[in-house]
Amino acid sequence: MNEIIESIKQSTIEIKNIIVKGDTGKSEQQNSTGDTQLKLDIASDRVIENNFKKLASIKQIVSEEQDYIIDINENGKYLIAYDPLDGSSLVDVNLSVGSIYGIYEKSFEGQNIIGAVYVVFGPRVEMVVCDGKSVKLYRMDENKNFNFTQDLTMNKKGTISSPGSTQQCWYDNHRTMINTMFQEGYELSYSGGMVPDLHHVLLRGGGLFSYPGASDKPNGKLRQLFEVFPFAFIFETAGGASSDGSQSALKIKTTHIHDTSPCFLGSSDEIDMVHQYYKQS
Ligand code: AFP
């Protein structure tokens, strides 16, 4: 997996330059989810695809920005699903964004994920790498080197609530749960960028990030392969937990590569709380 991590580092350096110099305008194209693609999305996607195509260990890749799986090397071992620039619509208001990578074996399913990486393009560029045994934080320095900073672990109970989705569309059980958390003193943290929002929960030791199903999006908004499974793998490895409202998100059965799912990620106590409120409903 080392050559994959090195490739991601190279892509990160190139994407950082694109963000700084790039045009944040809209392209004429839409992705499979119907989102209008920004020029940044397409440029970042091209960088990652071109770098991954050089690796003998990769069998297939699939991007959130593309309709289909791309075959790379029939003798390759790894399948990689990636979101090249998640939250890209936030670049033009200068908020943090990120890249997300899920590394799978055999098939693109939650149960077959064996590695996950995300990169935060914020005041600093940071990369988090998870191999299923540990979650490690690296920081890019002025010479474009990625230096190990610390191992990341989560407390049993946290202090942050990061509630996504359109509040007026929340189901009653979800609204009651979120309101109760704030009454109990949880700190609100939500930027609209999944990568910085989850990085915040992870680095502050825990809490709950939620993007539930709601009346406008019953199956949620976040994509299973590119967003939900990589972060579920990272949070569970760090000692936290994940859920789709009733079980570990990694147990979700994927039927299409662009499927979405309700998504809860956080400390184990908070995920237990989610199951209490969702079981009752
Ligand atoms: P974009 O990639 O289209 O900006 O969406 C980002 C995202 O998929 C994820 O990063 C956020 O958690 C989520 O959308 C925010 O969605 P809302 O804007 O509906 O809160």
| Structure confidence at residue 33 (pLDDT) | 67
Locus of tokens 């299973």 = 224
CA 185 to CA 232: how far, in whole Å? 25
- Report CA(226)–ligand 1 centroid distance (Å): 13
pLDDT computed for residue 70 by the predictor: 98
Q: How confident is the model at residue 281 (pLDDT cuts 50, 70, 90)?
A: low
Among protein residues, the one with the nearest Cα to ligand 1's atom 18 is 192
**Integer Cα distance of 81 and 233 in angstroms:** 14
> Is-contact 220 226, C-beta < 8 A?
no
Residue 103 pLDDT more than 70? yes
Is the CB of 164 inside a 6 Å radius of any atom of ligand 1?
yes
Q: What percent of the chain has pLDDT over 90?
A: 91
Residue 30 has a pLDDT of 73
For residue 222, the CA-to-ligand 1 centroid distance in Å is 8
- The per-residue pLDDT for 97 is 97
Percentages of the chain per state (helix, strand, coil), in multiples of 5: 35, 30, 35
Provide mean pLDDT across the span 85-101: 95
- Identify the residue whose C-alpha is closest to ligand 1 atom 2: 87
Residue 218 Cβ contacting ligand 1 at under 6 Å: no
Is pLDDT of 96 > 70? yes
Q: What is the H or E stretch that residue 206 is in?
A: none
pLDDT, tens only, 208-231? 999 999 999 999 999 999 999 999
Residue 186 pLDDT: 98
pLDDT at position 29 is 73
| The predicted structure's pLDDT at residue 38 | 72
Q: Give the Å distance between the CA of 60 and the centre of ligand 1.
A: 26
23 vs 262, higher pLDDT: 262
pLDDT at 87 over 70: yes
**pLDDT above 80 (res 37):** no
Averaged pLDDT for residues 220-247: 98
Measured in Å, residue 229 CA sits from the centre of ligand 1 at 16
d(C-alpha 198, C-alpha 190), whole Å: 9
pLDDT of 202 over the 90 cut: yes
Q: Domains in the chain, ordered, with CATH?
A: 2-151 (3.30.540.10), 160-280 (3.40.190.80)
Q: What is the pLDDT of residue 36?
A: 67
pLDDT for residue 213: 98
Band of pLDDT at residue 21, cut at 50, 70 and 90: confident
pLDDT digits (tens, 9 = 90+) for 138-190: 999 999 999 999 999 999 999 999 999 999 999 999 999 999 999 999 999 99
Pick the residue whose CA is nearest to atom 13 on ligand 1: 192
Please tell me the total number of residues recorded for the chain in this structure.
281
Say if CB 58 and CB 4 are below 8 A apart.
Answer: yes
Is 38's C-beta closer than 6 angstroms to any atom of ligand 1? no
Tell how far the Cα of 73 is from the centroid of ligand 1, in angstroms: 32
